[in-house]
Amino acid sequence: MDEEVSRPVLSVGELRVDLALGGGTMHPVDGVSFEVAPGESLGIVGESGSGKSLTLKAVLGLLPPGGTAGGDIRFAFDADRGGGRGERPTVDVERVRGHGVAMIFQEPMTALNPTMRVGELIGEAVGARRRMPRREVRARVIELMASVGIPEPERRARMWPHELSGGLRQRVMIAAALATEPELLLCDEPTTALDVTVQAQILELLRRLRTERGLAMVFVSHDLAVVAEVCDRVAVMYAGRIVEIGPVGEVLRSPRHPYTAALLASAPSFAGGDGALATIPGSPPDPRRFPEGCRFAPRCAFAQDDCRRAPHELVGDAKRATACIHPEMLMEVGV
């Protein structure tokens, strides 16, 4: 593949997020690194509180009050939509937000402005991308609504968000994201609030749009089955760090980190057996005081003395890596 074409759309290096709270400073994201290539979909999975959503928000500079981000975040877009690709560092995030990167949030009812009609919401995003006459904006809004499968787009463009179902609201949010003609789409649990049937429709829509438009995508979810459907690679996060990363099929079929194996054992879609689901004992560590060594060691059935010493970094190559220093123990028990 040509080097210029294969260049990552997003490169994140040693990302750290600190949250100042009354009781001290939390470090919910602590040294996360990954890349996403054009047309590729990377899933990020883990328990609640593992740092998945904060990672996406840090990439776009959307941290809550008291939150600060450090590390290296670089974008490589078609900078002028007509010339060569050019890197834009973190300081330019205000420029790339809505002009190369778009985000789909978990709950559309809280992300959509309830005081604006649906057509106005999408039209605002269209206008942020380029200046055009009002008639052309409206035509583009209808086109986008139709492209994401919203029936009767002319009529629904005049409706308020609360008049639409959850599935249609999510499609409106996707249409607004596409209005900016992004090269990178960040998805923060976009199907969690939807029923199973609507979830399947939204996932199929995202797959189709990624294929048709060559979008790079980062897809955060706690649902391993969803990630298996829409992602090429998966990064497993625990206590603010990535503990395993690789092709989604390989990681889910043959995990190399005990935490990944534990997640699979507790997921209905992957547990198998007699239907009884395993649980992960204990709780994630306090992000103000992480333990020495492997952060999963206090909950790990395979932990050895050396697991509890110096922190363990990802070891492997660009295709597959794990932070476990005893992956052979999983193979010995047939995980």
What is the DSSP code string of 293-311?
S-TTGGG-TT--GGGGSS-
Q: Are 235 and 49 in contact (CB under 8 A)?
A: no
pLDDT of 154 > 60? The answer is yes
pTM of the full structure: 0.88
Q: Are 31 and 17 in contact (CB under 8 A)?
A: no
Q: How many CB atoms lie within 10 A of CB 83?
A: 8
Distance CA 294, CA 300 (A): 10
What is the structure's pLDDT at 333?
Answer: 65
Q: Is 48 in a helix, a strand, or coil?
A: coil
Distance CA 45, CA 105 (A): 16
Tokens describing residue 206: 């995202």
- Residue 153 main-chain phi, psi, to 5 deg: -60, -35
Q: pLDDT band at 23, cuts 50/70/90?
A: confident
CB-based burial of residue 124 (10 Å sphere; 0-12 exposed, 13-18 middle, 19+ buried)? middle
- Residue 51 main-chain phi, psi, to 5 deg: 105, 10
If one compares 330 and 80, the residue with the highest pLDDT of the two is: 330
Arithmetic mean of pLDDT, 5-13: 83
Q: What pLDDT digit, counting tens, does each position of 250-288 carry?
A: 999 999 999 999 999 888 766 665 656 778 999 999 988
CB-based burial of residue 94 (10 Å sphere; 0-12 exposed, 13-18 middle, 19+ buried)? exposed
Taken as a whole, the chain contains a residue count of 335
Q: pLDDT band at 10, cuts 50/70/90?
A: very high
SS (HEC) of 92-115: HHHHHECCCEEEECCCHHHHCCCC
Q: What pLDDT digit, counting tens, does each position of 84-96 carry?
A: 334 444 435 556 6
What is the structure's pLDDT at 107?
Answer: 77
pLDDT of 116 > 90? The answer is yes
